Amino acid sequence: MDSVAIFTRQVLSRSNDHKRAMQLLATANIPSQMIAILRQELDSMVRVIYLLAQEPARRRILIEASVNGQQWQQSSGRGRVTDREMVELAQELQGWTRSVYKFGCAFIHLSNLHDYNDRDPMQLLVIEDCEAIISHCRFYHGGPEHSSFTDLLPYLPMVLDKVSGNLEYYLEQLPEEVTRRPDEIW
């Protein structure tokens, strides 16, 4: 089977698990894990965005590395491709990726935001990150009216659906051998 098809299958399988998990976590009201799931979906999206920004030959090398369980290496062969590098590229193209990714990372790793039962995580963020998260949620999903963590939670399943939809669209672009600039994709 072609490595692009295997990679696509892997990403879609992970995404389907995220959608199912989000439904269960929202019903069970487990906020930290809802955000962790969103962050994992975003991780898939920034990787696919990064792949789309590569020349077709380089894209294939990275996809094959992923399918074979290897880390992505810089084209120079010196060092690995970092999450920061991929997030920054997605940030340039999307405008909201960095703030949501950072917020999600705080729930992947133990942080002060896990004290959400007693302190509002949105109030613990740098004001720019809080404003970016809330403004993008309002723009794409119509809310929340207030910027508290509890007001944001009902929108997380919609945010996941949006990221998942974008991810599926970007995955459809992977097999194309036509070289396009990343800004032409979005």
Per-residue burial over 166-186, b if 16 or more Cβ lie within 10 Å, else e, is bbeebbeebeeeeeeeeeeee
Provide mean pLDDT across the span 54-61.
Answer: 94
In this structure, is residue 71 part of a structural domain? yes
Say how many domains are in the chain. Answer: 1
- What does each C-alpha distance from 96 to 13, 42, 136, 149 come to in angstroms? 25, 11, 7, 18
pLDDT value at residue 34: 97
181 pLDDT above the threshold of 70: no
- What does each C-alpha distance from 56 to 12, 40, 163 come to in angstroms? 21, 25, 24
In this structure, is residue 184 part of a structural domain? no
Q: How many residues does the chain have?
A: 186
179 pLDDT above the threshold of 80: no
In this structure, is residue 144 part of a structural domain? yes
In this structure, is residue 137 part of a structural domain? yes
Alpha helices (H) along 109-155: 121-124, 127-141, 149-152
53 pLDDT above the threshold of 70: yes
The pLDDT tens digits of the residues spanning 104-147 come to: 999 999 999 999 999 999 999 999 889 989 998 999 999 999 99
Domain with 73 in it: 3-178
In this structure, is residue 183 part of a structural domain? no
Provide mean pLDDT across the span 30-46.
Answer: 96
- Provide, rounded to the nearest whole percent, the portion of the chain with pLDDT above 70: 95
